[in-house]
Amino acid sequence: MTPQPDPTPTTDLPPPSPEQVFREYAPRIYNLARRMLGNDADAEDVTQDVLVQVVRKLHTFRGDAQLPTWLHRVTVNAALAHREKRANRQKRESVTGDDEALEAIAADPPTAGVRLPRPGIEATPDENILAAEQRAVIERAIAKLPEGFREVYVLADVEGLPNAEIADMLNLSVAAVKSRLHRARERMRVLLAPHFEEALT
């Protein structure tokens, strides 16, 4: 079901114009949809669907404080609905089978190493920019994640949403989100580590 924007005005500002919405939010919606769906054509369809919905409902927004959150939800819902439609046309990848594949990867013994533990995940200032090649490697790895895992990974580790919010959006328990996220990270780890040796040595 498409979430409805809260009709209660949050500010006295006028609603944003279609052009404002297009300039400020279209790239964000497109990037989220592309990563969730794993291809450009589907992301374009979803972006257009979402923005048309927004333009139709612009009069209900007063100011744009509530708009980013609403857009996130609508984009996730539209991407999932689009994927379901696509799945009706082609055999859908089995989450159970992928689950086993992810289990197998997770069970791989860690490779040898000799350094001290560093569990922190904060980037230092000189690590804040990805080279184009590194970026392409990460994007390809995300696209390889099975459906069911990919959207959890994108929402958690790209978009930075809390697990509880992801659970709410995807209609999953928090435990299920954490389990899928952990398995997705393990698969990403296997795919990415060989490309980031410099950062690991």
Partner 1 sequence: MSCQEMVDLLLDFVGGEITPEQRAMIEQHLCGCPPCVRHVEEYSLTIRVTRLLPKNDPLPPAFEQRLWAALAAESERGA
Which residues make up the interface to partner 1 (CB under 8 A)?
Answer: 18, 21-22, 26-28, 30-32, 40, 44, 47-48, 51-52, 55-56, 106-107, 109-123, 127-130, 134-135, 138-139, 142, 153, 157-160, 178, 181-182, 185-186, 188-189, 192-193, 196, 199-200
Q: How far is the CB of 81 from partner 1 (least distance, A)?
A: 19
State the CB neighbour count (10 A cutoff) for residue 43: 22
Residues 1, 171: Cα–Cα separation, whole Å: 12
Nearer to partner 1, 6 or 157 (CB): 157
The DSSP element (H or E) to which 180 belongs, if any, is: helix 174-192
Q: How far is the CB of 12 from partner 1 (least distance, A)?
A: 23
Residues 149, 147: Cα–Cα separation, whole Å: 5
Nearer to partner 1, 96 or 117 (CB): 117
Q: How far is the CB of 13 from partner 1 (least distance, A)?
A: 19
Nearer to partner 1, 89 or 117 (CB): 117
Residues 8, 166: Cα–Cα separation, whole Å: 24
Calculate Rg over the CA atoms of the chain.
19
Task: Give the angle subtended at the CA of 41 by the CAs of 95 and 28, to the nearest 5°.
Answer: 85
